[in-house]
A = this chain, B = another copy of it.
């Protein structure tokens, strides 16, 4: 996934990271630290869930107080610190304070994230031990450990990096992310951390991150759920000596996308019970929003996801979902393709193509294209199939 660069958040210059085990999870690494040697521009996109976890509230406040600057990100897995009341807020703030003290940096420069069980309080003795251990373990090679320490029951770590050669100069971008789908019952869910050694003003970094997240992390779905703890943070420390200004926004967006898109797709590929990555392309929308809405409806349809799981080229389900998605839709101009195989077009089925489509569905990577027949706008969303394994994972009692 990388362009001959070490993967992950320490690929860009001037970043160190660590992942340690401090006992929050029953086993494995559970506390990650990502540190920029110099104060960095910082940007964030937070969950839109109205039940926002304490670390979300604390990080948002810190970014405001620092006007978009940060030196470090501290993350624990195994406990979401969500729905934990005033104690939860104290604990999230203490995570930032203890990291500030251990690193000797500004308090406003530490962002906090948590992922794990909702409604359980953090054990601050364990967190303190983790922060102390991680700050001692920080290194240029620590990216992979950090990627593992933010996992809950993700089937594999997600790390990506890229070296970007641009008219403005050569710089690097790296990132790590964790799971989607409530990986363990009441897990809270999606975290992404992106670093770059380009110099970028906070406001520009925020604009670029927002743009990129809309088309990557916000364009994936495993089960249509949106957690209390979702967040994506970006740090830009300028260590490459390359400065990106307003005129280079497109370069920055492209660079961030080179990391965020494969991370987002990696999350879907590792979705609960997933056996296939499904790219849902909707064309023929009257607006971006309509195309996205239809694509999300298809990507979240249980009937579509189970049909793909079962290898059934069931175009009727795709038409039925497009028709109910609440968007402009013209049946007589609509079409459905699996890969390049047309199954429905101009109001009539092409059922003779069903056997070929059934063979296509045996692939691990499937592209579904639905033309709404109503306009010229398009949108892409990534999802996975729905298996009995998803039900098994999520029906099991927490204990």
Contact = CB atoms under 8 A, between A and B. Distances in A.
Interface in A275-324: 300-303, 306-307, 309-312, 314-317, 319-324
A312 B48 CA distance: 26
A326 to B, nearest CB: 8
Interface stretch (A60-68, A237-245, A388-396): A388-396
Interface string A225-238: 11110000000000
B397 A391 contact: no
Interface stretch (A133-141, A190-198, A343-351): A343-351
Interface stretch (A7-15, A16-24, A167-175, A180-188): A180-188
A394 B117 CA distance: 31
A303 B182 contact: yes
B51 A329 contact: yes
A83 interface: yes
A26 interface: no
Given A85-B347, A119-B349, A320-B228, A391 B398 contact: no
Question: Within the oligomer, what is the number of copies of this chain?
Answer: 2
A118 interface: yes
A320 B182 CA distance: 11
A175 B225 CA distance: 37
Interface string A319-342: 111111000010100100000000
A391 B387 contact: yes
A358 B391 CA distance: 18
A48, A306, A334, A391: most-surrounded residue (chain B CB, <10 A): A391
Nearest to A188: B320
A331 B391 contact: no
B301 A225 contact: yes
Nearest to A186: B316
B388 A314 contact: no
A20 B176 CA distance: 62
A224 B302 contact: yes
A50 interface: yes
A82 interface: yes
A6 interface: no
A306 B119 contact: no
A310 B358 contact: no
A341 to B, nearest CB: 15
5 contacts: A51-B329, A52-B331, A312-B398, A388-B395, A390-B391
Considering the complex of A and B, which 10 residue pairs feature the smallest CB-CB distances, nearest first? A310-B395, A51-B323, A118-B316, A306-B394, A388-B388, A186-B316, A226-B324, A49-B323, A50-B329, A50-B323
Interface of A: 48-52, 82-83, 85, 117-119, 182, 185-186, 188, 223-228, 300-303, 306-307, 309-312, 314-317, 319-324, 329, 331, 334, 344, 347-349, 351, 358, 386-388, 390-392, 394-398
